[in-house]
Structure 1
Amino acid sequence: MPKSKIKFYQEAPKSFGEGDKIEIKWIVVNDSDFHLEKVKGFSQEMVHEFGEIKAHSKVEFSFPFVLPSIDLIKADFGEDATISNPFVIGSASLTFSITTDTFTISSNSLEVSF
């Protein structure tokens, strides 16, 4: 089963402001001839059970994300702390099974300007 037929990626707005709440979208595209079972996406911030994804289908899942304020960053990491611009949201991972085999793939990371 070529993993190249399974795509997992993230989307988000290209820019947002400090403290803004945005939606991050996870998209799974199964262009294979196999049903994917026990499909689970996970990142540092989120875990989502997609369940089963049928052959030749696409599913999406959205969740909120808030860019922390500089005051919160400084409270956690000290007065010299900063927020990078662009802000990087790391990649997520997707695990799934086909019959008795389990696979893991990674998504893209996101860079968001503010």
Structure 2
Amino acid sequence: MDMKPVILIAVILIAGVSAGVYILTATDGNDKTEVKNLNGKNQTTGTARIVATQRGPETARPGSNITVTCKIKNEGKGPAKNVKVLSQDFERSFDVIEAGEEVEFQVQIYIPTEEEVKEDFGENATLSNPFFIGGFSVTYTDLSGKHSLNSNSLEIPLQI
């Protein structure tokens, strides 16, 4: 039996299904996605666009706690769901951050002394100045899928 017609039909079917999926989920560049709901009607829903930032004090002293303010804002046109925030120092989660909504929270971060750094990492270790705090990561889902991003990092000059 010649397999060419069978292969041709399979390729046409796959291309047709792919085109149908693309047409049903294509965006118009306005962060909106059109999908068919369970009743077969077209429904347009926007996608989320999360912006994550953190800010801390102008300066700090070794051996003290500092307050870092973290903000997560949804600048998109749809909700961000199952939002997970993760850092070396903290974790947070939010069920939903609606379009236009901003969530803000504060965390305390300890800045070690030079002696504590040497105890933990060896005699040749030093405390960095400025003190570096890496950005936190955010993952979330919206109508278009799962997304992840990182906030800005911080460099805080130490008063020694």
Alignment TM-score, normalising by the size of structure 2: 0.66
Q: Which has the higher contact order (CA 8 A, sep 6+)?
A: 1
> C-alpha displacement at 1:50, in angstroms?
2.4
- Structure 2 stretches of 5 or more lacking a match? 1-30, 33-46
Quote how far apart the aligned CAs of 1:80 are: 2.0
Instruction: Find the partner of 1:77 among 121, 124, 141.
Output: 121
- Using the alignment, how far apart are the partners of 1:48 and 1:6 within structure 2? 15
- Residue 5 of structure 1 deviates from its aligned partner by 3.8
**Structure 1 residue 100: deviation in Å?**
6.3
Which position in structure 2 is the counterpart of 1:96? 140
Cα distance in structure 2, aligned partners of 1:61 and 1:77: 31
Deviations 1:35-84 (A, max 9, x none): 11001111112111122101111111111101011111111112221111
Q: Are 1:109 and 2:153 an aligned pair?
A: yes
Number of aligned pairs? 114
> Does residue 54 of structure 2 align to residue 54 of structure 1?
no
User: Is contact 1:14–1:111 with CA below 8 Å preserved after alignment?
Assistant: no
Amino acid at match of 1:106: N
What TM-score, normalized to structure 1?
0.91
Name the Cα RMSD after superposition: 1.9
Segments of structure 1 that go 5 or more residues without pairing to the other structure are none
Instruction: Answer with 1 or 2: which has the greater Rg.
Output: 2
**Identity of paired residues, percent?**
32
CA distance in 2, matches of 1:82, 1:88: 13
Of Structure 1 and Structure 2, which has the larger fraction of its residues in strand?
1
